[in-house]
Structure 1
């Protein structure tokens, strides 16, 4: 049988350092320590922050994140709600977005919502995380539903399903679409085909409507509309329509990934990436379109500006006044070889 140590020989458990200990060592107030160690934007001088960080490291002090969240009512988590991340345009945008959110001291919780049933499942079972804000791209959830999912009032909508209580950031797609169709018309295009994305998306419905308005304005006949899903594979499949019979003067795709599929399926019709039978236009202005393999003329917006607007709403939610219209980011046409 092992003897237990008596009171004289037993070691007392180490007492963890407190915020007061850090303040005493750094020779600052407890409030300054709180600001210096917090992700909050509240100001603290560089000298004091440096002293606090060195004192905290010397003492082995770690902030109590739970206590901070109870005090500030913030958990420094931001939910990003998507349908999927397999489209190439997602990679361009979300890499930039995650960096911006982390730069303001918050972490990202990514949720994939692939159907209306999945949204209902979240509502039925409850979401395990409280968040400071939810950023919504999935077109399967409206603003009111997302507020219920996260029990949070700050829901920033990018899917067209916002309401008077939710801020929204959306590209003004009509501008870039008008520029692209005008470019085609100036080059003699009179007959067009349109390869579209998911029909249930409000953003996609508005995008298609903008193309139809632009075609009518420039006397271009829309001869074919082919259903895709924004993916490379769906564009590759759609290309069979342009290979098997008379082709239009131009093919417009509502994503660059679909345009890449069309281009690869029709490579013989694009010697040195130049159009021989029809011109090709994409949408998203992906970074890949700047490379020699896919020099696709495209429509896009400034992603840095787009992310800046979203991040500001996360950091300064009070800038949104209920009932305000969506923040609009203009799109533009980027000419390249396929046009």
Structure 2
């Protein structure tokens, strides 16, 4: 007795191609991330046919064919700073635009890195983007058993691609702005001491203060968060407050501004000037008109995604890709 099992068999790529009126090769390319082009008209027919049949591509089979898994690891300390939200929304969107998905891995301490390695945990990913302060390039290559790690935290070596903002220009412009307004003393609210990027940022501020004759009279340790800026206000905004307060994140500057609203009638300074860093989208709103230092995040993300999509374009010893920063004046300065 013969049984017709065609109704229960899952649809194949051949079924999709037949319904769309294209070859199997075209149907396969239309539903994958292969660089070979497919016309938009054929792609739409293939997608419609796949949806009609309920066809789902076999990602494992695709990975065996292309030797990729279309996953990108993003290694972070945490995601709670407002600047993280501004950046990662763009980054995830653009990574998905090249047909890959992001997995977030939180490594907030050296102990966590060691645990990761000790337990033999290894993700098979096409690339790793490293923002965490606690993992250098050789360690990340061991973690993912991959040479394609893109370092964004200042802990790179000659074998790893690097994309990093060049912060000197923007910091110098901000300090020059303060000097032009007769600022003679400054306070500095800093972020995580463990971060090489933050250490370089602090040095840039110190050098700019010296260059423009501004005396750094007080430094307060924060962690980039709004809460740490809120706490720092008590140490900086007393009767002997400096002429200007510089923060190495906008979130910390927002915390100070909220404590000291009386010192900024209409958003303008009456006792001290306030400068942030990151040029968050929130600073474009009336509630937080904070003068800031920023860079083109779209350009920054584009460089990162280009490094993911074109791993062969990097050669050992290639200089870091830098994105220039600039001062963005607003009312608080």
TM-score range, shorter chain: over 0.9
2:11 is matched with which residue: 17, 36, 45? 17
Which residue of structure 1 aligns with residue 232 of structure 2? 238
Which residue of structure 2 aligns with residue 291 of structure 1? 285
CA contact (8 A) 2:122 2:143 kept: no
Q: Gaps (5+ residues) in structure 2? A: none
Confirm or deny that 1:329 pairs with 2:312: no
Stretch moving more, 161-170 or 260-269: 260-269
Q: Whole-Å Cα distance in 2 between the matches of residues 151 and 186 of structure 1?
A: 52
Which residue of structure 2 aligns with residue 316 of structure 1? 310
Q: Whole-Å Cα distance in 2 between the matches of residues 24 and 291 of structure 1?
A: 54
CA contact (8 A) 1:82 1:137 kept: yes
Confirm or deny that 1:256 pairs with 2:250: yes
1:269 is matched with which residue: 238, 263, 276? 263
Q: Whole-Å Cα distance in 1 between the matches of residues 247 and 195 of structure 2?
A: 15
Which residue of structure 2 aligns with residue 159 of structure 1? 153
Shift of 1:48: 2.7
Confirm or deny that 1:201 pairs with 2:195: yes
CA contact (8 A) 1:258 1:282 kept: yes
Shift of 1:164: 1.1
Q: Whole-Å Cα distance in 2 between the matches of residues 42 and 128 of structure 1?
A: 31
Instruction: Tell me the secondary structure at the aligned position of residue 209 of structure 2.
Output: helix
CA contact (8 A) 1:40 1:105 kept: no
Q: Whole-Å Cα distance in 1 between the matches of residues 227 and 275 of structure 2?
A: 17
Confirm or deny that 1:43 pairs with 2:30: no
Q: Whole-Å Cα distance in 2 between the matches of residues 250 and 73 of structure 1?
A: 54
CA contact (8 A) 2:168 2:204 kept: yes
Shift of 1:234: 1.1
1:16-54 Cα offsets, whole Å, 9 max, x none, are 333233334444333222211102332122233233333
1:150 is matched with which residue: 141, 144, 149? 144
Shift of 1:216: 1.1
Which residue of structure 2 aligns with residue 66 of structure 1? 60
Instruction: Tell me the secondary structure at the aligned position of residue 203 of structure 2.
Output: helix
CA contact (8 A) 2:74 2:128 kept: yes
Stretch moving more, 268-277 or 40-49: 40-49
Shift of 1:127: 3.0
Instruction: Count how many residue pairs are aligned between Structure 1 and Structure 2.
Output: 332
Confirm or deny that 1:212 pairs with 2:206: yes
Confirm or deny that 1:105 pairs with 2:81: no
Could you say what the CA RMSD is over the residues aligned between the two structures, in angstroms?
A: 1.6
Q: Whole-Å Cα distance in 1 between the matches of residues 254 and 282 of structure 2?
A: 10
Shift of 1:11: 6.1
What is the TM-score with the length of structure 1 in the denominator?
A: 0.93
Q: Gaps (5+ residues) in structure 1? A: 1-6
Shift of 1:62: 2.1
Larger radius of gyration: 1
